[in-house]
Amino acid sequence: MQKRKLGNSGLEVSALGLGCMGMSFSYGTPPERKEMIALLRASVDRGITLFDTAEVYGPYTNEELVGEALAPVRDQVVIATKFGFKLKADGSAGWEGLNSRPEHIRKAVEGSLQRLRVTTIDLLYQHRVDPEVPIEEVAGAVKQLIEQGKVRHFGLSEAGAKTIRRAHAVQPVAALQSEYSLWTRGPEAEILPTLQELGIGFVPYSPLGRGFLTGKMDENTKFLETDFRAKLPRFTAEARKANQALVDLLSAIAQRKRATPAQIALAWLLAQKPWIVPIPGTTKLHRLEENIGAELMQLSAGDLQEIESLASKIKVEGARYPEAIEQMTGR
């Protein structure tokens, strides 16, 4: 697989990474652990080098899974994890708020190092901006961890342009991770120009719209109670019916290109900027291989113009998150 550099950081990774959250969290009953270990190792064999996890995924279990799976190939991979949520004292799923106080960051990093079985975290993101803690204090705490050799690179997630600039002035930000896809295009107005100016890489999560852009679901799809999509406004039956037009667009182009809608969606993202590295998630080997195939897709200027023209006429229905979670983004 081709490599890409995340901005000016010098951090080089595969053009597509792997989002690991769904292997143990959020999308219904988790698959068997040994199957996910095999999938993670198969992804390394196929050239993927960037793996994304977080302490809140589980909590903790996803980092443990990634740590065990990648320990034999540690020198071949880049592991990214995140801090920033105040987890429940009983260890159950979910969180009780945000916490990016420096002492909490240090404690979170020590836990992540142990669970990931590493001596250094390659890329450490603040998972969500904490309005109670100045971003300069957060960046300063991570800067100290970098100086101590416990972290290599600093990242932010779902941060606004002003916050990115303030953090970057204290400790250079290697990457921003935020949702971006053909049905979530908010970063284009202000975030992408800011990243371009500052030399920061962009790691889009949910590049396939949490599965919707693959064309494998419709208004009649039923979600388990443990699948968090059942709680998302954009995944109501009415919203899915309205948003099917975007999938139809992708499907038409995919048919012409002898590809799949997922491959077109990922190829579109890769074509936006050379410093964009999407991290689609999956729990199935054939989907992993399908996603990897997007790297070989060549979308011409005409293809991209056609997608832009048609997509601009489609109004995406439904918010990304419930209001309480949406308020945590774009700060």
Residue appearing with tokens 């204290």: 170
Cis status, amide bond into 59, omega within 30 of 0: yes
Among candidates 174, 165, 154, which has minimal Cα distance to 109? 154
- Please, are residues 48 and 19 in contact by the beta-carbon 8 Å criterion? no
Q: How far is Cα 154 from Cα 22, in angstroms, rounded to an integer?
A: 23
For the chain, first and last CA: distance in Å? 34
Evaluate the CA torsion angle 278, 283, 288, 294 in order and state its sign. negative
Is beta strand 85-87 parallel, antiparallel or unpaired with respect to 151-157?
unpaired
Q: Which residues contact 17 (CB under 8 A, 6 or more apart)?
A: 48, 49, 50, 51, 52, 80, 203, 277, 278, 279
Could you give the CA distance from residue 86 to residue 100 in angstroms, rounded to a whole number? Answer: 9
Q: Which amino acid is at 156?
A: L
**Burial, 274: exposed, middle or buried (Cβ in 10 Å; 0-12, 13-18, 19+)?**
exposed
Alpha-carbon span 85 to 56, nearest angstrom: 7
CB–CB of 7/200 below 8 Å? Answer: yes
List active site positions.
57
CB of 292 closer than 8 Å to CB of 1:
yes
Task: Count Cα atoms within 13 angstroms, Cβ side, for 73.
Answer: 21
